[in-house]
Structure 1
């Protein structure tokens, strides 16, 4: 069970998934399967198993497919949907902003809808001593995308987009797994106002990481970094990413924990 009263989750799953075509020609990325389990279904299973009681899903591309598969309940967890009609030209921050009423109702987990992960990632995040926290893993040759630098207390000092292993040779970087936990106070006093400023200001293509980075630096958001580098997870953006995830989660030969670079480099 969550140790901080976090019984609600928001999943951002509106994107087109263009890098996964032709697999996403008829289905949204979040319904792509890893060994028979859709990326979204895996997330819902893990959330339900950790005591989450209510999950909202921001949908866009082929939203009818997602709603048709999962309906309004999953393993005792209530599901609701927030539709984006402009998913083709907006970023993840816009999707989060669309769900602002849900976020305003209390503490919440935030997940990107393209991460396939084992339950231990979620349980470790929920047990973290940091009230607001995100799951991370040390950068490796297989990982690209948003990453964080950390301070001496294990908190994010800065979030950066479009990072790769060569960037980590300059200073240590931790890949964001894009699973976060936020308290009601942080959502109401910091995240939601910054989302409003960004989206109402016209930056519809902004990413969640940019919102968080803007809050960390001048406004003092204390975002703890929960190291999950020894656990199994992968962000699936491309066909190659899908193949890596299939190897990590292969049922016949379970991958040893951690060391992604050594497993598949």
Structure 2
């Protein structure tokens, strides 16, 4: 068996990365694509590797000569690479193609060695490697029968995205038998090129053959093996996180992205915090039905969106400001804060990171659960050397999940009013708290005109993204009866600081309040079940939580980084907290997801506890 690699293209979309080199010489984590591919193929006892070069071909040949690859390498030069497409490059190699069984690759693919192994080990002679279609993919797709026969072969420009659930993406790695190449593929290739010209793609020939009654070519479905096609600099960035070398480096690369995990469709995200049960499907369908007008029309300005927020939360328009996520409002609020500010740690770092550490007064609970009450805060910030002009409270706190109930919040507000302390309460996670009886925390929100009127120094922040499960549309609100402060915040924000999708969500969320309440009940039940299961994992000590996440201490001499990295091997991503706490102990934070996802997490953790997946 031999391998053929098509490497003649210019890779224009990679811009400066391919200004003086062909695309396969682009480096991913310090190693070129071509070196990585050749090192893998060099292990497979192939008769030869044929490389069709073109753009900057001499540089490519010279570079490969330095790699000391043991398998014989043959080069073919496509002199008209800038006027032809890959059908011509493959035609140049036809004398090799018809001579023996072949593995065919495009040079802009990065892949793990297992992809080559599963092709070579499959007894079927002619295969197209495919993967279940995901949102990051582009280009040619297939529709398959149950027996892996190809029912349809669809070029990227003809994809119907409403049918994407049935699509498989071609990985652009193939196995051709010598018989197939000599008697079917090459004759079709020559005829197609003669009829259509050389500015076509070899996949078009595969499409024609795949639809014949002979069904000579079958699909080989991947099952979690990793690959990526690199067309532009964002693809390159994704590839560097997927192929980071060590699992520790991969974890760091993914964590540093702060989201965008839809580009990793196999990744189960237990790090970022959302409501898994909201919005309901009907609300999503309503938004989809308005997609075209929402994307083509300007959103309303700040005044109108303040009216929407006012209606949704029962607060006067002049007392509430809506933001592009709560982070936008936190930034502006902290920029207009002066004097000593009190923070409780561990906490959501967006607040203290936006303020001068020299003016920060920090309270750290002196117990293993990081729990505290309103009385604890009052006692501490009333004591000499700890007095502040502003106190920031996340309730429930992030990451501890500590919750101060309604009575405790009233005490804090009364104390702040008496002491002339500005009190910032972030209740982004408060709706998830479980209260005695039938009362829901949602009904006790401080986003209430009567509460706000009771003290103008009270500022209430809420992330709609987290509690309502819509982080992609970026929504947050801040409310206070301090009209001058709210007016300043509105002035600081751009007139179009939220998009049409966010506005549409706010406009229609009232209709789905019952669904939202039900989602909170489901989340509370799942949280209870998750905490119970986490308690049965020998190396974890879950800390009581009233939020949609659970903080766990890591025990038995293990480290939080070890746990996080081991779970990433299972495509499960959790938050390593140890860098945020400095007490010499190890912690992770685990989001609450639905029952099926939580079970997958627990199964992986218990396997680790049993030593099945120890690092």
- TM-score, structure 1 normalization: 0.90
The Cα of 1:220 is off from its aligned counterpart by 2.9
Residue number in structure 1 paired with 2:229: 235
- Give the Cα–Cα distance (whole angstroms) in 1 for the partners of residues 232 and 111 of structure 2: 16
- Counterparts of 1:8 and 1:83 in 2: how far apart (Å)? 18
Paired residues of 1:72 and 1:80 also in contact (CA < 8 A): no
Residue 136 of structure 1 contacts residue 225 of structure 1 at CA under 8 Å; is this kept in 2?
A: yes
Return the alpha-carbon distance in structure 2 between the equivalents of residues 165 and 246 of structure 1.
Answer: 28
Relative to 1, partners in 2 of residues 1:165 and 1:195: Cα closer, same or farther, differing over 3 Å?
A: closer
Offset of residue 225 of structure 1:
1.5
- The reply on whether 1:220 has 2:214 as its aligned counterpart is yes
CA change 1:73–1:241 in 2 (3 A) is closer
1:80 corresponds to: 74
Q: 1:121 to 1:201 in 2, by over 3 A?
A: same
Match of 1:261 in 2: 265
Q: Which has the larger radius of gyration?
A: 2
2:202 corresponds to which residue? 208
Distance (whole Å) between structure 1 residues aligned to residue 159 and residue 185 of structure 2: 29
Residues in 2 aligned to 1:205 and 1:146: alpha-carbon distance in whole angstroms: 17
Deviation at 1:164, TM superposition (A): 9.2
Corresponding position of 1:71: 65
| Equivalent position of 2:244 in the other structure | 250
Q: Which runs of 4+ in 1 moved over 4 A?
A: 163-166
Q: Is the 8 A contact 2:10 2:82 kept in 1?
A: yes
More helix by share: 2
Query: How many angstroms apart in 2 are the aligned matches of 1:105 and 1:190?
Result: 13
Separation (CA, whole Å) in 2 of partners of 1:159 and 1:216: 8
3-state secondary structure, aligned to 2:49: strand
Residue of 36, 39, 44 corresponding to 1:45 = 39
Residue matched to 1:3: none
Contact 2:119 2:127 in 1 (8 A): yes
| Preserved contact between residue 150 and residue 156 of structure 1 (Cα < 8 Å) | yes
Structure 1 residue 91 corresponds to structure 2 residue 85: yes
Give the direction of change, closer, same or farther, for the CA distance of 1:262–1:106 in structure 2 (3 Å limit): closer
Please list, as runs of the form range in 1=range in 2, the aligned pairs for 1:168-207 lying within 5 A after superposition.
169=163, 172-207=166-201
Looking at structure 1, the residues matched to 183 and 195 of structure 2 have their Cα atoms a distance apart, in angstroms, of 18
Highest RCO, 1 vs 2 (Cα 8 Å, sep ≥ 6): 1
Q: Which residue of 1 aligns with 2:140?
A: 146
Give the CA RMSD over aligned residues.
2.3
* Pairs aligned (count): 257
Please say if residues 12 and 57 of structure 1, whose CA atoms lie closer than 8 Å, have aligned partners that are also in contact. yes
Three-state SS of the structure 2 residue aligned to 1:9 is strand
Indicate the structure with greater strand content. 1
Instruction: Give the distance between the partners of 1:202 and 1:162, measured in 2 at CA.
Output: 19
Alpha-carbon displacement from aligned partner over 1:158-184 (angstroms, at most 9, x marks no partner): 222216986263551111111100111
Cα displacement string for residues 54-111 of structure 1 (whole angstroms, at most 9, x for unaligned residues): 0010011000111001139843100011111111121111110011111121111110
Q: Which runs of 5+ in 1 are unaligned?
A: 1-6
